[in-house]
Amino acid sequence: MTSYLVSNRVMRYLLGVLIGLVVSDGVISRFIVTEKLGWEANPFLQTIVGEDMFLAIKVVGVLLCSLILWDIYRRWPKLAVISSLCFVVLYLGIVLWNIYAFFATQV
């Protein structure tokens, strides 16, 4: 029997929050770059951040990562929950940084 920490519901919530944060990061990053308020720091995404495919790549990437994390969850629940939580914290920091960058340029 698994503990509450690694319950099915907790993992689904973590993955849902992760998906939302990655999509938010994509929307905010695209807006900041297309409005020339900042730049994309990820060297792999710098050339496509202004294109329509940027958000599609972000969505497909986060869905693939979520499926991989869910597969890991089935075998090693604690590892998957801890990893997902780390990714959520990381992307929360990235989204907050993007929001700060947007408001800092508005002054």
pLDDT digits 0-9 by tens, 2-50: 455 567 889 999 999 999 999 999 999 999 888 888 888 888 888 898 8
Calculate the average pLDDT of the chain. 89
85 found inside a domain: yes
104 found inside a domain: no
Name the DSSP class of 37.
S
55 found inside a domain: yes
29 found inside a domain: yes
> How many structural domains does the chain have?
1
78 found inside a domain: yes
DSSP readout, 14-75?
A: HHHHHHHHHHHHHHHHHHHHHTTS-----TTTTTTTTSTHHHHHHHHHHHHHHHHHHHHHHH
The residue range of the domain holding 95 is: 4-99
According to the model, what pLDDT value does residue 1 have? 46
82 found inside a domain: yes
107 found inside a domain: no
71 found inside a domain: yes
